[in-house]
Structure 1
């Protein structure tokens, strides 16, 4: 079988037999050959690219020789026995140093050893210092012994193939596990990203906790790098680790310095065995495993996202690990950008709101005075124009108040004072205070009171603010002549207050945005309704500040039900009943 030399060498390498220790299964065959053929030397020779190496040798002191002086290199070129009766008289070998040296080779007989896939990788050969010729029986015996060697070599090949198959299966299973872990982690990240319950800062913390779980590492940090200083933006770490948001350190004392120098990603699974152990931060922090990546905002680096542990990992970071942190860094970058935009927006809204509120109050007061006749009589046309200006000014005032409320909520500056109140009394007041607005729209507000007294612990003014938002929204989106109903569902521990309308319902694509700031549905009918898009966002924040929850159910074209839920103080209710 004629195959390229490169393919033959690859077949030899696949056996993984070169430079391995002696084995009795081969040595017993070469010992038997010495005894059977009464020769000086017997070898199991394997012909490599530049040498012949002896897996088994009897009577020969060297473990290998150069291929250029090898008799076996000639033997593997053909099939069957390659026999030289007297090498000193053969033009191919007469000047070979193995022949011309004292006691040199005269007789050589070798049988090629062929792998199961047809490559001749070496020989079983017998050598003597005297000329001779093998008899037919001896030639057959040498072929039989070579067959035994071939079987052992091919058994090794089979063993190696089994090892390769097992290793390939292990790598495949590991890759599948990594892919499953990656998909699960990305799904969890998507849940974090779409959560309406988490602020952007809480989303960053949740993402760091997810990363720590994914990498099985203890510490996760998002940092800002500025003026050669490392500042912690967000961190998750075990108790007792002296890390917190806002902590600043010299950049040179952190692994992030090394990360920035790489320009993108740095992954070290065992720092103690890496050149990084010479870095100052290793002796200072003693972190044994680290993976970090540069975070970019607007094309310029912001800082780093990193995970670390005080113990080394058993294995290096995989390609799936590196892909995960790359994807996570892009997500973090997007969240940081949203934080930056929100901060700018909130600062702008705060400034504008405060600057507008005082002059607008004066404008509204002045218009009311004029409409009240302070300046004398006016034409009907002037009265109508001023009434429209007043209405729009009051709407602008409501927007400013909503903006200021939202600002205070974000800053944690709204005071909430909760006290026990009877639900029926609270809802009766809500109905009374909001009926005038509903009348303007031709809507009737109705209350189905609780049969049993029930107390809830709320801030009276903030509760009424929430109910005003829910009732005005329900009336605004209902058809004239219809009813908006307040009905309660009571369980043993909680009470749910429902505001039901029979209006247009909420488009399915808008539902996930319903409690976001400035959110308003895109339908033309909804755009025609007055509103700031802040009422539900404020209601949600206030409800949660008072220990309650808020939610809704809606079918487009069939109406909506918005509800708030609070714990029930039953014992106190019974006492007050």
Structure 2
């Protein structure tokens, strides 16, 4: 037996083959119809469309055998792609290249073989359309011509298949872009509404106060008494603008990566440490130092920051514990548990239903923008997760969500 040689353009030929993404794909009727027709025209029991991979020949369509592939070293088609014409072996037992070939000695006992290369528009032979018989045989002129025509049709089918796949990919890209544009439009409308109702109000109030005759005629002492109120209004405006900026960025790129959860929680605790100390709150990081989760970095930071800040808002002289646990499905459950004032069952139900603009004052009358929870839910949805809440009035609250372990 003589093994088939590799064509001189083998590396480029394989690149071309892989570009078509046809290897190991499901059967397709258009290709199956060709092998059926080739078998009928050439009056043989076996007909194949083969793709010659680096070390195997794989059958895209087949008639008369059950295998899906064989080794390239013993393939007849490996010899056929070395040329551009019809490759015919009338009796394999009389050809030194195949006399002791396993496919000749054993099943399917090949005697006759005729294979026509499948040539792409770029001139590469990807495989063959071949017909096989267990008896010596010849093909007449009409059968040879038919086999050549059918092989050309298979080559065109392969090209058209690749163009169809590319078109489908382009359609998917367009659908994603359309969805993103729709989300941007909806977001723009929501942001316009929020700016109109929630941002304009406090800004107008502060502006009116400073432009009023009351401010001009007030003493320094009277003005200083109103500074805490003004400060709260400015802080509220700042928080709302920060959340609006986070929201605008959420429509952009979404990049999952392996993140050290303990480190992210540590950074959030450092951020809130002064604020927590003022309310005599202990911030506890109970997450394993080496635990990694799969998440978008900026979104995870926002979720942890907002849930921790919210817990501080409703806690006085207590503790806030950030922990994790492994679920049965292999995901990591992250919990932010506080010992604060808790919530009524009615309020928890509203939050779980995702009702818009739910804001309540903290233990020291702290205000929120009302956007934090909305953004958290949107960000978690991008991670195929959701926020769960457990709470009792006077007994604190716990917020849960899950992420995939990295």
Q: What range is the shorter-chain TM-score in?
A: 0.5 to 0.7
SS of the residue 2:286 aligns to: helix
Work out whether 1:252 is the aligned partner of 2:286: yes
Partners of 2:87 and 2:130 in 1: how far apart? 9
Partners of 1:106 and 1:273 in 2: how far apart? 61
Work out whether 1:278 is the aligned partner of 2:313: no
Q: Give the TM-score normalised by the residue count of structure 2.
A: 0.52
Q: Structure 1: state its 5+ residue gaps.
A: 235-244, 288-304, 317-577
Partner of 1:539: none
- Show CA shifts across 1:277-304 (max 9, x none): 334529999x9xxxxxxxxxxxxxxxxx
Partner of 2:36: 31
Partners of 2:115 and 2:15 in 1: how far apart? 22
- Show CA shifts across 1:424-474 (max 9, x none): xxxxxxxxxxxxxxxxxxxxxxxxxxxxxxxxxxxxxxxxxxxxxxxxxxx
Q: Is the 8 A contact 1:30 1:43 kept in 2?
A: yes
Select 2:49's aligned residue among 44, 57, 65. 44
Partner of 1:68: 73
Q: 1:150 to 1:136 in 2, by over 3 A?
A: same
Partner of 1:313: 381
What pairs with 1:204-223 in structure 2 (closer than 5 Å)? Answer: 204-212=239-247, 214-215=249-250
Q: 1:177 to 1:282 in 2, by over 3 A?
A: same
**Larger gyration radius, structure 1 or structure 2:** 1
What pairs with 1:356-371 in structure 2 (closer than 5 Å)? Answer: none
SS of the residue 1:78 aligns to: coil
Partner of 1:57: 62
Partners of 1:16 and 1:261 in 2: how far apart? 29
Partners of 2:266 and 2:247 in 1: how far apart? 12
SS of the residue 1:74 aligns to: helix
Partner of 1:144: 149
What pairs with 1:442-521 in structure 2 (closer than 5 Å)? Answer: none
Partner of 1:368: none
Q: Is the 8 A contact 2:14 2:53 kept in 1?
A: yes
Partners of 2:336 and 2:89 in 1: how far apart? 66
Q: 1:5 to 1:266 in 2, by over 3 A?
A: farther
Alpha-carbon shift at residue 202 of structure 1 (Å): 4.2
Partners of 2:331 and 2:93 in 1: how far apart? 62
Q: Is the 8 A contact 2:293 2:332 kept in 1?
A: no
Partner of 2:23: 18
Partner of 1:95: 100
Q: 1:102 to 1:211 in 2, by over 3 A?
A: closer
Partner of 1:225: 269
Q: Is the 8 A contact 2:327 2:333 kept in 1?
A: no
The root-mean-square deviation of aligned C-alpha atoms, in Å, is: 5.2
Q: 1:283 to 1:120 in 2, by over 3 A?
A: farther
Partners of 2:166 and 2:287 in 1: how far apart? 49
Q: Is the 8 A contact 1:106 1:128 kept in 2?
A: yes
What pairs with 1:323-472 in structure 2 (closer than 5 Å)? Answer: none
Q: 1:278 to 1:261 in 2, by over 3 A?
A: closer
Q: Which runs of 4+ in 1 moved over 6 A?
A: 171-183, 195-198, 256-262, 271-276, 282-285
Larger RCO (CA under 8 A, 6+ residues apart):
2
How many residues are treated as equivalent by the alignment? 275
